[in-house]
Amino acid sequence: MILTVTYNPAVDHTISIETEPHPGRVERATERRFDAGGKGINVSQYLAALDVETAATGLLGGFTGEYVRDLLAAEPFDAPFVGVRDATRLNGTVHAADGEYKFNERGPSVDPTVVEDVLEVVTRELPDRIVVGGSLPPALGPDAIDRIARAGDWETTVDVGGELLGRLESQYACCKPNREELAAATGRTIDSVREAIDAAEELRRTGFDRVVVSLGADGAALISDDERLYAPPIETTVRDTVGAGDALLSGVLAGFEWGTSAKQALALGVAVASRAVATAGSSVPDLEDVGAIQDRVDVVDRSHGPR
Where in the sequence numbering do the catalytic residues fall?
246
Angle among Cα 177, 51, 81 to the nearest 5 degrees reads 65
The CA distances from residue 139 to 8, 11, 64, 306, in Å, are 11, 20, 19, 45
Rg (CA), the chain: 19
Amino acid present at 254: A
Non-local (6+) Cβ contacts of 294 within 8 A are 264, 267, 268, 270, 271
Distance CA 286, CA 293 (A): 12
Phi-psi region of 304 (alpha: psi -120 to 50; beta: other; left: phi over 0): beta
Largest CA distance in the chain: 56
**Torsions phi, psi of 82, nearest 5?**
-90, 135
* Coil vs helix vs strand at 278: coil
Distance CA 171, CA 191 (A): 28
DSSP state of 130: E
DSSP state of 31: E
Amino acid present at 48: A
Question: Length of the chain in residues, anyone?
Answer: 307
